[in-house]
Copies of this chain bind each other. A is one copy, B any other.
C-alpha cells in the first residue's frame, strides 16, 4: 500500500534527483491544469521545473511518458484519498460506481489536467508500455479495492473489472472530446456496473 512505485530494476535516486523529479511532475500538472495537453510544452516544463531540457528528457523520455507518469502520480493521490474515505455503499457494484463517480467529479474540477493525462494515456505506443502498464495496474487495484471484496479475485471478477475499466476509459475519452455529456458518463458508469453486478456477485465470496 505504501510501497508506491519504485521499479525494481531502477537505481535509487538521490535526494536532489527525487526533488527534481517532483518539481517536474508538479510543473507538468500545473501547466496541464492551465491549458491541457497542448499547454504542456517540454521547454516550458523544463523552465518551470528549473531543469535543463536535456535533463527533463533524461527523466522522462517523451511528452507521453511524462504525462503518463503524471497520471500515475495523480492516481496514487486518489488511491490514498479513497483509503481514508472509502465508498459507503454496501454492494460491490454500487461501491465501484460510487468510487468512479467520485473520481469523475474530481476530474471535472480539473478538466484540462484530465484531458492532458487521458490523451497521453490513450496515445501512448509500445515505447511507453511499462508506464502505461503501471497506470493500468493501479487503476485495476483501485477498482478492486472499491469492491470491498476480500481474498484473491476470481478470473470472472477480473474480467468484469476489465470491462468496467474499458468503459471508464472510453467514456472519459468521449467526454473529453466533447462527444458526450457528464450525464452520459454517469449513465455509462452506472450501466456497466449494473451489468457487471451478477458477474461479480457470483464470481467471488466475501
Write the residues of chain A forming the contact surface with B, with a CB cutoff of 8 angstroms. 37, 115, 119, 122-126, 128-129, 132-133, 136, 159-160, 162-163, 165-167, 169-171, 173-174, 176-179, 187-188, 191-192, 195-196, 199
Are the C-beta atoms of A125 and B177 separated by less than 8 Å?
Answer: yes
**A105 CB, min distance to chain B CBs, angstroms:** 20
Q: Which residue of B lies closest to A173 (CB)?
A: B122
**A185 CB, min distance to chain B CBs, angstroms:** 11
Q: Given the known inter-chain contacts A191-B163, A195-B199, please indicate yes or no for A124 contacting B171, CB distance below 8 A.
A: no
A37-B125, A166-B171 known, 12 other contacts, Cβ within 8 Å: A119-B125, A122-B122, A126-B177, A129-B178, A159-B187, A159-B188, A162-B191, A163-B167, A165-B170, A166-B169, A169-B170, A195-B196
18 pairs, CB–CB < 8 Å, chain A vs chain B: A119-B123, A124-B177, A126-B177, A126-B178, A129-B177, A133-B179, A159-B187, A159-B191, A160-B195, A162-B191, A163-B163, A163-B167, A163-B188, A165-B170, A166-B171, A166-B188, A166-B192, A169-B170
- Please name all residues of chain B whose beta carbon is closer than 8 Å to the beta carbon of A196 when the two chains form the complex: 195
**A63 CB, min distance to chain B CBs, angstroms:** 12
**A97 CB, min distance to chain B CBs, angstroms:** 14
Taken together as a complex, chains A and B put the C-alpha atoms of A128 and B136 apart, in Å, by 27
**A158 CB, min distance to chain B CBs, angstroms:** 10
- Please name all residues of chain B whose beta carbon is closer than 8 Å to the beta carbon of A115 when the two chains form the complex: 125
**A160 CB, min distance to chain B CBs, angstroms:** 8
Taken together as a complex, chains A and B put the C-alpha atoms of A133 and B179 apart, in Å, by 7
